[in-house]
Amino acid sequence: KILIIGACGQIGSELTYKLRDIHGKDAVIASDINYGNLELVNSGLFEILDAQDTTSLKVCIEKYSINTVYLMAAMLSATGEKFPMKAWDLNMSTLFNVLDLAKNGQIKKVFWPSSIAVFGPTTPKTNTPQYTIMEPTTVYGITKQVGERWCEYYHNKYGVDVRSIRYPGIISWKTPPGGGTTDYAVDIYHQALAQNAYECFLSENTALPMMYMDDAINATVQIMEAPAEAIKIRSSYNLAAISFTPKDMVASIKKELPDFSISYKPDFRQAIADSWPSSINDSEARKDWNWEHRFSLDAITQSMLTNLAEKANQE
Ligand code: VAH
């Protein structure tokens, strides 16, 4: 059985749906700290679980005979800067709880998400390589960098089969924009439909690595289904799809909504975005487990606007 921790979140919710499609509804138990996403909560087996609590996690693992865990709970970059120690405690204690259960043989396989946030201002900014300088300047990025070190350590020292991907910004429509710096690229579509205008908290030429949720979910399934010997990197794989700026997004949205207008009002998140790469080299992932992205910016725009409009009509 599979347990998704943080299933109400942006990636966690879509992983839950996808893994139920693949393995069957009752093979996937969704869990989160609260009922933050009622559509997800009502979509199948759901448990309220505080994964920071070792005992509660152990009870859940045993109750459902879990052998695979996707640890998707974390505090993201922007929110993490408002609550640094909460971000550190949440992101690290949950990782250690899951890795220790795997070390003791109670879990067979773990997925843990890292992020391009592990890179910092001293990292080469374009086509950022898999192995390079990493001096993250956000608490979130620090938790992801040290989390990668621990994943590799538990694999090498205790044989834990933990697999990880450094996700870029992810765009999706099923959950509202969250506490991420890249979430401007989600909110812009909501605002385009709601008021044909958007006030962007990043400047127009801020290029960031991005990916559509369908690509991110496919990559996650692919890395988890690959044979163990194919996974050569046990810290975390660079993963990329496309890179674009808010200006590029405006051009793409105008193809569908010609009167759409944008204004720019950079805030504290500009400094976070400026510390990250503008594009990523993911040749290792493409080589080791045949990763291939599918969605272009225009395809993302069409899919986002269509699905958000349909969702608004249903509501
Ligand atoms: C964030 N969406 O903005 C996340 C992600 C690379 C960005 O880690 O914090």
The pLDDT of residue 315: 83
Q: Please give the distance, rounded to the nearest whole angstrom, from the Cα atom of residue 253 to the centre of ligand 1.
A: 22
Q: Please give the distance, rounded to the nearest whole angstrom, from the Cα atom of residue 182 to the centre of ligand 1.
A: 6
Q: Which of 64, 70, 140, 184 is catalytic?
A: 140
Using one digit for the tens of pLDDT, what is the confidence trace for 15-27? 999 999 999 999 9
User: Closest ligand 1 atom, CA of 168?
Assistant: 6
Q: Is 140 a catalytic residue?
A: yes
- Ligand 1 pocket residue status of 87, Cβ below 6 Å: no
The pLDDT of residue 273: 97
Predicted model pTM: 0.95
CB 117 within 8 A of CB 276: yes
Q: Which residues, given as ranges, of the chain have pLDDT below 50?
A: none
Residue nearest to atom 4 of ligand 1 (CA): 180
- Ligand 1 pocket residue status of 273, Cβ below 6 Å: no
The pLDDT of residue 66: 98
